[in-house]
Structure 1
Amino acid sequence: MFIPSVLVIIGFIIVHIFTDAIKFLDERPTNRLISLVSGGSIAYVLLHLVPELTHYREVVEEATLPGWLEEIDYVTYVAALLGIAVFYGINQLSEKSERENKEEKNLTRPDKSIFALEIGAFSLYNGLIGYLLAELSGENIAAYFIYFIVFSFHFIANNRILHLTHEDLYTKIGRWVLAFSVLAGWILYETTHASDLTIAFLSSFLTGGVVLNILNDELPDEKKSSYPAFLVGMVFIAVLLQVLIK
């Protein structure tokens, strides 16, 4: 499925570069849109990514692992927890730095070192999304379409937060790094051969990161969220997954 994957990657690059140009994201209906997107993202994670953890667990059980890893039950789920821990930790560092800069330096953004750390982490994150595109979509064109829809809105949500947090640093540097990290991940997958075990751990780690970032960036504040929109997004993606992906 080379052509569909190329089109998805090009789409991801365009989304990253031009998120700031989507002016309606600054308007009030955005809260409904974000609720819609978060519902769809959660449905995708729970109905597609999380079930894959069971498959990856079977892959790991059949592989030869170092002794200390073999002692860990549900090791792929532990990898998912690691993904949650990494991105939660980075988010906490960013918020702490921003808070301290506001109090001590009258700055509205975190230190540049935190920007570099956050962009580096999300470059890895985006690279994994590009790298695992074919693995998570298989031979089903509809799966590529759903992958693109879900992660495009996921990228838009992440990009809005990064832009609000790091301001012109994100516009001048961050968005370009993130855009091409998706491409780099895809190229790496197409030009190398990873074992099923490697795919299992990378996918599990990504699943944890996706869960954390959805909860962090896509779920609006209770007072600003729209439950009907959230429900529509959830049902829409759930139905697509059930009808189009067998």
Structure 2
Amino acid sequence: MDAVPMALVTLLMALAFSAVHLFVGRLRFLDATPRSRWLSFSGGVAVGYVFLHVMPELAAHAGTFRQATGLDEAAAEATVYVLALIGLALFYGVERAIVASRGGRQTQENPQSRTFWLHIGASALLVGIIAYLLNNREDTGWIGLALFFGAMMLHFVTADFGARSDHAQIYDARGRWVLAAATMAGWAAGLLLDLPELAIGGLFAFVGGGIILLVMKEELPEERRSRFLPFALGAALYALLVVGELIVRQSS
């Protein structure tokens, strides 16, 4: 791809991510019980992305880890998946801190400010990495970029809606701006900072673990009254798109 058009396209994508952070509160149709079909659909797409794109790429990056560290094949693979586990564990810890700050109540009454900023800080790290990967992905094709963008766009809708549900006032006042700024900073870093392939693999692993936890956190609790069929439809549709991409790539 030519560098200039690619940078412009990824800039527009980063701006679209930022728009989700800034305006998710205006998507009133998402605030419904039972859970909005669109949120469950978005969660299914995000999980599909993790299992059909991130996980296979992690297996491929294990070779890079083996060459860079001198570890044997099994140890290199374990290292990659440990990074994914770290991403999952970090966001699990943040979610547990949020529940503890409410005394176990599933409401947003009197959330502690420091807990909110812990949540936003971890989320800003994740969105910054995702924006960085817009310009530094293993798959540099247009179709692969479009699938990455679509999956992450829907993931941000789900994750930001959940964050705002926990801390609506402070999210609207300050949190959304922090996430938007982190997104644009990550995009800019992707243009200016060329990390080694070993680091890119680590970032992919961390993102995969974080997304798995965030999607499961939004879909599994009983009080969410989540919808299985839209979730399954999102995952299946994304799987079909991935298969279609592979067919197109092999035939070209």
TM-score, L = length of structure 2: 0.86
Q: How many residues are paired up?
A: 239
The counterpart of 1:22, out of the listed 27, 31, 34, is 27
Structure 1 partner of 2:128: 127
The one-letter amino acid of 1:179's match is A
How do 1:225-236 and structure 2 match up within 5 A? 225-236=226-237
CA distance in 1, matches of 2:103, 2:175: 21
The counterpart of 1:87, out of the listed 76, 84, 91, is 91
CA distance in 1, matches of 2:174, 2:138: 30
The reply to whether residue 146 of structure 1 matches residue 147 of structure 2 is: yes
Deviations 1:149-176 (A, max 9, x none): 2111211111111112112111010001
TM-score, L = length of structure 1: 0.88
Unaligned segments of structure 1, at least 5 residues: none
Structure 1 partner of 2:46: 41
Q: What RMSD in Å do the two structures reach over aligned CA positions? A: 2.4
Counterparts in 2 of 1:45 and 1:216: CA distance versus 1, 3 Å: same
Q: Which SS does the other structure have where 1:63 is aligned? A: helix
Q: Which SS does the other structure have where 2:195 is aligned? A: coil
Structure 1 partner of 2:113: 112
The one-letter amino acid of 2:202's match is F
Q: Which SS does the other structure have where 1:194 is aligned? A: coil
Structure 1 partner of 2:103: 99
Q: Which SS does the other structure have where 2:225 is aligned? A: coil
Unaligned segments of structure 2, at least 5 residues: 1-5
CA distance in 2, matches of 1:228, 1:71: 38
Q: Which SS does the other structure have where 1:160 is aligned? A: helix
Structure 2 partner of 1:164: 165
CA distance in 1, matches of 2:108, 2:169: 13
In 2, are the aligned partners of 1:131 and 1:189 still within 8 Å (CA)?
Answer: yes
In 2, are the aligned partners of 1:39 and 1:232 still within 8 Å (CA)?
Answer: yes
In 1, are the aligned partners of 2:219 and 2:226 still within 8 Å (CA)?
Answer: no
Q: Percent identity?
A: 31
Q: Which SS does the other structure have where 2:161 is aligned? A: helix
In 2, are the aligned partners of 1:157 and 1:218 still within 8 Å (CA)?
Answer: no
In 2, are the aligned partners of 1:128 and 1:206 still within 8 Å (CA)?
Answer: yes
CA distance in 1, matches of 2:42, 2:221: 10
